[in-house]
Amino acid sequence: MGSTTRLAALVQMEFFRFWRLLRQTIVPPVLNTLLFILIFGFSLGSRIKEIHGFPFIVYIIPGLTAMGVMNNAFSNTSTSLHMAKFDRSLDNLLAAPLKPFEMVLALVTGGIARGLLIAILTLAVALPLLKQPLFSFWLTLYFVVMQSVFFGCWGIIGALRAKTWDNLATTQTFVITPLAYLAGVFYSVTILPPPWREISLFNPLFYMVDGTRYGVLGVHDAPLWISAGMITGLAILLFAVCVWLFQIGYKMVR
């Protein structure tokens, strides 16, 4: 009973922050996606032939959605935790009878909420182009949630390690964004020449983009069970790492 109350308070706090910053957090990624669709879809896309039977502009929608989810889940948890470190309110949480699992779960829930919202908005904006319903609502939901967990946890780890805001921005700019591009947001990895195709398989983000594409369009490069297994395994693993870091008080306890 006490646990529910504690968790509810933590989650509400996360949502409070998130709603307060809604305009800053929601509008840019959706605008970003729209720009991508305009630039790559309409202007350049007509020169590119269909991929897996879909026009280029439609083919890139799931990838763009996934990229928005990844970046936003990461931002949400990392910003929240970094701010708490910055104003030292993290110390107040750490001195309270909150379990590591509860703290991580609350942060990740915030990340999932933001990831979901971005996914819904992006798809809502892009679906008219698709001219068909989602291939599988539940698969799409599953992949979006799992990506949010993975990137939410990554954001937590990033914020714990980060000394400055720049450290977090660096991760997003130099690690997450390139990995997302290389994961096949704009192309099918099957069109890559030999070494690159195999190398792509080592990029965990490939499975997230591919799985999301399966959910939205019903086409994929890797078998579904591998994508689903990969993302589920990685999400659970990172979540466990986060709980462990809170347990040992990594960079939190002096």
* 81 touches another protein by CB under 8 A: no
Candidates 19, 42, 86, 174: give the one binding another protein (CB under 8 A). Answer: 86
Candidates 50, 87, 166, 198: give the one binding another protein (CB under 8 A). Answer: 87
* 23 touches another protein by CB under 8 A: no
Cβ distance to another protein smaller for residue 100 or 204: 100
Cβ distance to another protein smaller for residue 99 or 161: 99
Helices assigned H by DSSP within the chain:
2-20, 22-36, 56-86, 89-95, 100-130, 137-161, 165-171, 177-182, 194-200, 204-217, 224-248
With contact defined as beta carbons under 8 Å apart, do 56 and 40 qualify? yes
* 93 touches another protein by CB under 8 A: yes
CB of 5 to another protein, least distance (A): 5
Candidates 94, 121, 125, 179: give the one binding another protein (CB under 8 A). Answer: 94
Beta-carbon contacts of 154 under 8 Å, excluding residues fewer than 6 positions away, are: 74, 176, 238
Candidates 99, 105, 172, 233: give the one binding another protein (CB under 8 A). Answer: 99
CA distance linking residue 173 with residue 194, whole number of Å: 27
CA angle 65, 210, 56 (to 5 degrees): 65
Of 57-65, 92-100, 108-116, 207-215, the segment contacting another protein by CB under 8 A is 92-100
* 254 touches another protein by CB under 8 A: yes
Smallest CA-to-CA distance from 163 within 251, 75, 246 is with: 251
CB of 10 to another protein, least distance (A): 7
Candidates 53, 178, 229, 249: give the one binding another protein (CB under 8 A). Answer: 249
Candidates 19, 35, 53, 91: give the one binding another protein (CB under 8 A). Answer: 91
Quickly tell me which residue has 């799931």 as its tokens. 62
Q: What DSSP string describes 30-73?
A: HHHHHHHIIIIIIIIGGGSPPBTTB-HHHHHHHHHHHHHHHHHH
CA angle 84, 90, 93 (to 5 degrees): 135
* 5 touches another protein by CB under 8 A: yes
With contact defined as beta carbons under 8 Å apart, do 245 and 157 qualify? yes
Candidates 88, 131, 138, 202: give the one binding another protein (CB under 8 A). Answer: 88
Binding site for another protein (CB under 8 A): 1-3, 5-6, 8-10, 12-13, 16-17, 20, 83-84, 86-99, 249, 253-254
